[in-house]
Amino acid sequence: MKLELGNIYIKDIQFTEGEAKIDDHILYVNKEAAAAAALGEEEHLASVSFDIAKPGESVRITPVKDVIEPRVKVEGRGGIFPGVIAKVDTVGSGKTYCLKGMAVVTAGKIVGFQEGVIDMSGEGAKYTPFSQTLNLVMVCTPVEGLKQHEYEAAVRFAGFRLATYIGELARDLTPDDTKVYETYGIMEGKEKFPNLPRVAYVQMLQSQGLLHDTYVYGVDAKKTLSTIMNPTETMDGAIVSGNCVSACDKNPTYVHENNPVIADLFEEHGKTINFVCQILTNENVYLADKMRSSDWTAKLCRLLDLDGIILSQEGFGNPDTDLIMNCKKIEAEGVKTVIITDEYAGRDGKSQSLADADVAADAVVTGGNANQVVILPKLDKVIGTMDYITKIAGASEETLRADGTLEVELQVLTGATNETGFNKLSAR
């Protein structure tokens, strides 16, 4: 399967009373038209409002639900977000344009304690990768009496509709640069790269339910068995986030579209490895599901005659067990496994990092310690509301200090300890 990604770099976002368009790398947004596109026939949202947040500005966005990169499919089967916005059809081939340097950010109080913070400047901006994007923020207000799970679904769909609408504005443009990604059939790949190790990416999707969900072609991941996909399918939005969970290590939709593990494996594809495929598995709350799903990933790794895999987790706590089960069982099939996780090692970093462990997990990449404390400055403008800032996971009653600064754990910052490497922490 072959996909050409065309990048169009957005250098500024401005509101206009006139027609929405992208002209000379500037996105012009007409608020009324954007609201109409985002709301569609949604009955659960009373209104949406828009704001723009730019890198370096004294702006805080909270409570953040999702971050999405607008894309448009210009050639090939299907459309962006298949089974969610576009009709169900196999995506991942043909040609897709991506609006780089910008993001659609959805905000609104859904759960209260499981949405995140994006700071566009100051200490927090060093940790969230979305301080570097021009953000078109949509704050969604629900109709009265709406239940949390209905509110979550409404905000999720509004975000995808808005991103799709913005992406469509790029349909007739010429990309600034393009890159081609291609994977092969099992036999074809073996013939093409007879001497290269066969490597796959096993991605664990957050699927604990109760607003901790991920969707694959519109299917709720907790109701799936582990399965195989072409990695280019993710680039067309085959996986989307429906998550309200600790902000630092959940994968917003933007991360699924731009998964760095996939990007890096493609970089080595045909050179040092044969990137065979992507394997998806879930993180459910029943022990039997954890056992079944990890049995299945190990079985698929063996069936595909893999030499090695990279395994990424999403979230923390009981998914640590899914991670270790996957690692143990895949290694037991003779397939070398590297895991990517993050740590909850306490504020002093001295506690056990993961809830589960095994000797098979002998190659580990960490996204950082989510309990690490940072002080965020008082910023001039808030998009959304500060009403829940002391409730967000990683904050406390003592978070808001007398001088207006915030004492929080990295947990509160969207993407700070991301477990696909889509974050800014590193170590020497």
Active-site residues: which are they? Answer: 244
3-state helix, strand, coil split of the chain in percent (to 5) is 25, 35, 40
Q: How far apart are CB 210 and other proteins at their closest, in Å?
A: 6
> Which residue's entry shows tokens 């897709």?
96
Minimum distance of other proteins from residue 43's CB (angstroms): 27
Q: Which is nearer to other proteins, 32 or 358 (CB)?
A: 358
Identify which range of 55-63, 190-198, 321-329, 333-341 contacts other proteins by CB under 8 A.
Answer: 321-329
CA quadruple 49, 43, 72, 62: dihedral sign: positive
Report helix, strand or coil for 63: strand
- Position 327 contacts other proteins (CB under 8 A): no
Site track for other proteins across 97-136, x = CB under 8 A: ----------------------------------------
- Is 38 or 327 the residue whose CB approaches other proteins more closely? 327
> Residue written as tokens 């709301």?
39
d(CA 221, CA 239): 9
**Least distance from C-beta 205 to other proteins, angstroms?**
16
Chain Cα centroid distance, residue 10:
20
Length of the chain: 428
219, 304, 357, 360: which one binds other proteins (CB under 8 A):
357
Is 264 or 356 the residue whose CB approaches other proteins more closely? 356
- Beta bridge partners, 140, equal 48
CA 24 to chain centre: 28
Query: Is the Cβ–Cβ distance between 268 and 310 less than 8 Å?
Result: no
Q: Tokens standing for 7?
A: 């990048």
Query: What is d(CA 224, CA 239) in angstroms, rounded to the nearest whole number?
Result: 13
Interface with other proteins, residue 209, by CB under 8 A: yes
For residues 318 and 286, the answer to whether their CB atoms sit within 8 Å is no
C-beta of 62 vs 206, nearer to other proteins: 206
Q: Which is nearer to other proteins, 209 or 270 (CB)?
A: 209
The least CB distance from residue 304 to other proteins, in Å, is 26
**Does 148 sit near other proteins (CB under 8 A)?**
no
| Total residues in contact with other proteins, by rule CB under 8 A | 16
Q: What are phi and psi of 327, to 5 degrees?
A: -60, -50
CA distance 371 to 375: 13
321 to each of 281, 324, 355, how far by Cα in Å? 13, 5, 7
Instruction: Say if residue 42 is exposed, middle or buried (CB neighbours under 10 Å; 0-12, 13-18, 19+).
Output: middle
Distance (Å) of CA 43 to CA 137, 138, 424: 20, 17, 38
- Quote the CA–CA distance of 318 and 204 in Å, as a whole number: 13
Residue 150, φ and ψ in degrees, nearest 5: -75, -35
Contact range with other proteins by CB under 8 A, out of 117-125, 184-192, 315-323, 342-350: 315-323
Contact with other proteins (CB under 8 A) among 33, 146, 355, 363:
355
Minimum separation from the CB atom of position 171 to other proteins (A): 43
331 near other proteins, judged by CB under 8 A: no
Is 332 a residue that touches other proteins (CB under 8 A)?
A: no
Residue 315 CB, shortest distance to other proteins, in Å, is: 12
Residue 280: in which H helix or E strand, if any? strand 274-283
By beta-carbon proximity to other proteins, the closer residue of 171 and 223 is 223
The CA R_g of the chain, rounded to the nearest whole Å, is 21
325 binds other proteins (CB under 8 A): yes
4 binding other proteins? (CB under 8 A): no
The CB-of-113 to other proteins minimum distance in angstroms stands at 15
From 93-101, 103-111, 318-326, 382-390, span contacting other proteins (CB under 8 A): 318-326
320 touches other proteins by CB under 8 A:
yes
Site for other proteins contains 318 (CB under 8 A): yes
Gap between the Cα atoms of 309 and 278, Å rounded: 9
Site string for other proteins, 273-312 (x = CB under 8 A): ------------xxx--x----------------------
Least distance to other proteins from the beta carbon of 393, Å?
Answer: 16
Residue 149, amino acid: H
For position 208 contacting other proteins by CB under 8 A, the verdict is yes
Q: Which one of the spans 7-15, 114-122, 205-213, 268-276 is the region binding other proteins (CB under 8 A)?
A: 205-213
Residues at the contact surface with other proteins, assessed by CB under 8 A: 208-210, 285-287, 290, 318, 320-321, 324-325, 355-358
